[in-house]
Structure 1
Amino acid sequence: MLEILEASGALSSRELSLKSRMPERTIRYALRILKEKGFVEEIYLLGDTRKRRYKLKAARDALCFV
């Protein structure tokens, strides 16, 4: 999943699910863990705050959590 985000930039959980061919529930669970560990950040869309996109944090920020 990290490789997909690295190659594609910010994506929704649905888009990640389609690209990885994994169930969306599994993607959301993994995103929650990656977000807690500081590898991924969640972006709320201004037009609709119910929709979120996820992107990799900057490498130097993520290294602080390893």
Structure 2
Amino acid sequence: MYELDCSTVFPGCERVIRADSPAGVIRRAVAQANALGIERVTPSMLDSMREKMIERPETADRAA
């Protein structure tokens, strides 16, 4: 499980984005940026997303 605290990349965002892969987190983060009114996600924003993304271990309740 991968996770990104959206506020570390997009000021004012209050979501924590989770997905099974880094690509999934990036896709969801770009969609969230668009929802926040950010029309163009720059390469530096993508780099920031990759740097600030963390990997979390799977939890038992998620596997159930």
What is the TM-score normalised by the length of structure 2? 0.33
Greater relative CO (CA pairs within 8 A, separation 6+): 2
Greater Rg, structure 1 or structure 2?
Answer: 2
What is the TM-score normalised by the length of structure 1? 0.32
